[in-house]
Structure 1
Amino acid sequence: MTEEATQKQLRGLSALLQIEKETRHAGNLQDLAFLIVNDTRRLVEYDQAILFQHKGNNICKLHSVSGVAQIEKNAPFVDWTTKVVNFRLKKNNSSEVSIINPDELPGSYKDNWSEWVTGNALWCPVKSMNGELLGVLWLSKNGAWHENEIAIIERVSDAYAHAWAAIINARPRKIKLREWATNKKSRLGVILFVIVIMFLPVRQTVLAPAEIVPYNPYILTSPLDGVIKKIYIDPSQAVKHGDHLLSFDDTTIRNQYEITLKSLDVSRAKLLQATQKSFRDERSKEEVSLLKAEVDQKSAEVSYSNELLKRTRVYAARGGVAIFTGRDDWEGKPVVVGEKIMVIAKPGKSDLKIWLPVDDAIQLDSEQEVHFFLNIDPTRTIKAKISQTSYEAQPSLDGKLSFVLRAKWSNDAGPSHRIGLKGTAKIYGKTVSLFYYLFRKPISALRQRLGF
């Protein structure tokens, strides 16, 4: 072997090693495809290289063409070569590197061979280690293909396949899922799976704001129209029956009482005088009956004023814990008869009050299960059961139209918590299908909009 031939072999080996190195460092399929169609020329001579990507089901799509930056997918040449490649795939002629024989093609493809191919074309499948076809490299040139050139293509195709498989396995999961979703069998399986799970039985649940409230409390309301002068207890203070809770400003009522007393004294004096005259004067006897009625009226006014005066001092009707906002909120505030001032609750006795929005309402029965989560301790579940539901909806604290529900604690789960604490109640309803659970509100909204 001459020195020139030796140098030529060394240059060829060096080019092969360099291409294999560049192949391993290709960061994505686009870079690898550019290297395949353009840099393979450093190993073997060819006029044109076309790379097809295998899409499954013996179908390939054109990916790259040597010397072309942007491919016109609807070009006649692209359409013809794609059809020829897919024809060979379906004929199972894709396993090894081979020269494409025009005579094996159908008449329509064979007739256009000379128009699109100058000379001979080489079929180079790119297969992974497990035999999966990744793509096809089409090489054409005006001369004949030699055995040493085919051997080099077989060698470098193996490197291309290894790099191609590595890039596919390193792609983001969402790309793999997209490819999986394009498979018809996969899509059908997903549809059937979704249909089946839509019939799974699930228990209806709904979330609603809730608050711990006293159980059967004594509600203290204003006994008269007036101004609260003084409150003698603090919020959350324990009180006993008969404890003095508050006083009203009694200035007006006391003055009115004293005036009625004086009016009563005057009326009694007139009655006494008329009674004494009646023994001597017949006309005075007629006045006696009128003055008696006046005395009775004044006595009733005195009794009423005295009763109002007694009401200015309010005492506890029963023992418990006094619940109200604060002294500063009530002292000096005018109130009317029946206005709620405070609540006296029994210690350790509480209920759960739930505001269920009308839009989220579900069919509920008594004894339905409720799980309560406190805002201050959301990790703990407190169990209760529905004991009362309102017939009509009413505005809640945040202004939403809601049904008011009452729930009793299960196994004394709630007495340890302070009255007034708020949280979220998870109410459990009846068992329904998953489809109804997910689409109940959308269907309801659609019916309201379309009226069907």
Structure 2
Amino acid sequence: MTFTDVDLRNRWEVAKSSKAVAQAKYFKAVQTATATQKNMEDVAIAKAELDVASSELAYAQEMLGRTVVKAPSAGLLIYSTKSDWIGRPVRTGERIMEIGDPTATELKIEVPVSDALTVAEGGDVSLFLDGDPLTAVKANVTRSSYRPALNGEHQMVYRVHAGFSDGEARRIGLRGVARISSRSVPLAFYLFRKPIASLRQRFGL
């Protein structure tokens, strides 16, 4: 990925020209001083100017190099849409995209806080893809978050990750509905857990 580098590239070109001029002045001062055995102060001044120009060029080169961002490994670039980022300023550390490995996909499930039950590692998951809603794809829970977080729709959800039971990779970006099998609970708890949770949130019990 390459950021806009017009300004930094211009600074690099100016710094490169400045170093070339300073280097020429230094060589001329050295030749003159060697021939006349005088003007050693001019040599020292020219050398200092050359050192400054070299430092400025090195800094400009470093800043220009930062406009090119390389991924640590090959993969599929995942981001929202191109139009979302055109002209938009970004903050330091802000995530703008991800690199996905098409050969090592997993299932990411967002469980609303109101539907959250105990999810154990290794639990069974049935995925019904939007493109094939009648066929269940089997998976097993690998990990889950302990704290809820806001998703893209500004809903508080727990994130559960699962690996496909058959070990086959699926295309990145597929969507569907997942059913997580949890441990058995009394029927009364299952029927009244949402009303009880609502009362606790409302009255702070």
Range of TM-score over shorter length:
0.7 to 0.9
> What are structure 2's unaligned runs of at least 5 residues?
none
Of 96, 99, 124, the residue aligned with 1:340 is 96
Of 150, 165, 173, the residue aligned with 1:395 is 150
Structure exhibiting the larger radius of gyration computed from Cα positions = 1
The 10-residue stretch of structure 1 (385-394 or 333-342) with the greater mean CA deviation from structure 2: 333-342
Of 419, 422, 438, the residue aligned with 2:172 is 419
**C-alpha RMSD over aligned residues:** 3.4
TM (norm. structure 1) is: 0.38
**In the alignment, what sits opposite 2:57?**
299
C-alpha separation between the residues in 2 aligned to 1:307 and 1:334?
Answer: 22
User: 1:294, CA displacement in angstroms?
Assistant: 1.0
Q: SS of the residue aligned with 2:135? A: coil
User: 1:354, CA displacement in angstroms?
Assistant: 0.8
**CA pair 344-256 structure 1, distance change in 2 beyond 3 A:** farther
C-alpha separation between the residues in 2 aligned to 1:308 and 1:345?
Answer: 25
User: 1:409, CA displacement in angstroms?
Assistant: 0.8
- In the TM superposition, 1:22-421 aligns within 5 A as 222=1, 224=3, 226=4, 250-276=5-31, 279-304=37-62, 307=65, 311=68, 319-321=74-76, 329=83, 340-341=96-97, 343-347=99-103, 349-412=104-167, 415=169, 417-421=170-174
TM (norm. structure 2) is: 0.76
Q: Percent identity?
A: 28
C-alpha separation between the residues in 2 aligned to 1:421 and 1:315?
Answer: 26
Aligned residues: 200
C-alpha separation between the residues in 2 aligned to 1:437 and 1:330?
Answer: 42
**CA pair 292-319 structure 1, distance change in 2 beyond 3 A:** closer
C-alpha separation between the residues in 1 aligned to 2:128 and 2:204?
Answer: 38
Q: SS of the residue aligned with 2:132? A: coil
User: 1:330, CA displacement in angstroms?
Assistant: 8.1
Does the Cα contact within 8 Å between 2:138 and 2:165 map onto a contact in 1? yes
Does the Cα contact within 8 Å between 2:78 and 2:98 map onto a contact in 1? yes
> What are structure 1's unaligned runs of at least 5 residues?
1-221, 227-249
Paired letter, 2:128: F
**CA pair 406-441 structure 1, distance change in 2 beyond 3 A:** same
